Structure 1
Amino acid sequence: MRHRTVLTAGALTGALALAGCSGSGGEADRAALSVSSSYMPQPVSADMAAGFLTITNEGGARDELTSVTSDAAGQVTMHSTVGGAMAEKSSFDIPAHGRLVFRSGGNHLMFEGLKRAPKQGQTVTVKLTFAQSGPLTVEMPVKSATYNPSTGH
């Protein structure tokens, strides 16, 4: 009986060591995403709003934002703005050790078919879906229609 216990303990120790080894180095091979600076200016239109945020990737692998959804809107689309021209995009790259910025006058989210008119002081829940990482849920505060993050007004 004592021999069997030793083998079981040895097998368990070996399995734990292998499990530990399989995870080492994995951090450098994955994206590590976080969201900051999210906000929605109070919409001036009854059925459409814009949204802005920053996704930071501190991991060693790139990822891709593939979709955005919100219960507050029929659909949320992603847009780029280059040289004053806006274009809908199906995804955005998030480089390793980099950022994806959605800001006024640049990349932005469009909330279309609003189910309710978000008011200043409320929040809108947004789900971000990525190609590699698990989804992130963000509570996006609704700011004044003229809010400018650089001035805080």
Structure 2
Amino acid sequence: MNRRTTLAAAIALTAGLALAGCSSDSSDGKPDLKIGQAFMPEPVSADMAGGFLVVNNDSKTADKLTKVTSDISDDVTIHETKSQKMREVKSFDIPANGRLDLERGGSHIMFMGLKKKPKQGEKVSIELHFEKAGAVKVELPVKESTYNPKHH
């Protein structure tokens, strides 16, 4: 009984990785990326929203986030914020054994021309496209517009 539940948990945990076509013991040199802290603050305007998440790379292979797609918008871009200025970029580097932080006040995903305005409590499906790891589906839970998961 116990063994079966452990196995089920292990399968549930690895299912997410299997979708991305990579596992930590893979010899194909693909990065081992884990996505966490994903959320979208409830948009204040009806046509644009921001998305935030952290990509941890637990491998010796660097990768790049090259594109984000979503069924909620046909115009999803990635922006970096440097010295209070926001600009669209073609890709974000994810260093080997490092992380990419998309956070409030910093780099983020921008959704323009929303097909519908996401409400708090809903989830927005997005797909992150990585140069090496391929496409990874992520759900962004919609939080209150002021939500900020910053750890102090």
Instruction: Please confirm whether the aligned pair reaches a TM-score higher than 0.5, indicating the same fold.
Output: yes
**Aligned sequence identity (%):** 48
The 2-side partners of 1:87 and 1:134 are apart by 24
Determine whether 1:64 maps to 2:35: no
The 1-side partners of 2:150 and 2:66 are apart by 28
Q: Residue in 2 aligned with 1:93?
A: 93
Q: Unaligned 5+ residue runs, structure 1?
A: 1-23
| 1:75 CA displacement | 1.4
Q: Residue in 2 aligned with 1:26?
A: 27
Highest Rg: 1 or 2?
1
Task: Map 1:9-48; keep pairs closer than 5 Å.
Answer: 26=27, 29-48=29-48
Q: Which contiguous aligned blocks of 4+ residues in structure 1 show a shift greater than 2 angstroms?
A: 24-27
| 1:25 CA displacement | 8.0
The letter for the 1-side match of 2:30 is R
The 2-side partners of 1:64 and 1:25 are apart by 19
Determine whether 1:108 maps to 2:108: yes
Q: Unaligned 5+ residue runs, structure 2?
A: 1-24
Q: Residue in 2 aligned with 1:53?
A: 53
Q: Residue in 1 aligned with 2:10?
A: none
TM-score (norm 2): 0.80
Task: Specify the SS of the correspondent of 1:110.
Answer: strand
Tell me: CA distance 1:128–1:25, structure 2 relative to 1, closer, same or farther (3 Å): closer
TM-score (norm 1): 0.79
| 1:150 CA displacement | 2.8
Aligned length: 127
Q: Residue in 1 aligned with 2:138?
A: 138
Q: Residue in 1 aligned with 2:82?
A: 82
Task: Specify the SS of the correspondent of 2:150.
Answer: coil
Task: Specify the SS of the correspondent of 1:114.
Answer: coil
The 2-side partners of 1:142 and 1:84 are apart by 25
The 2-side partners of 1:79 and 1:132 are apart by 20
The 2-side partners of 1:33 and 1:138 are apart by 12
| 1:44 CA displacement | 0.4
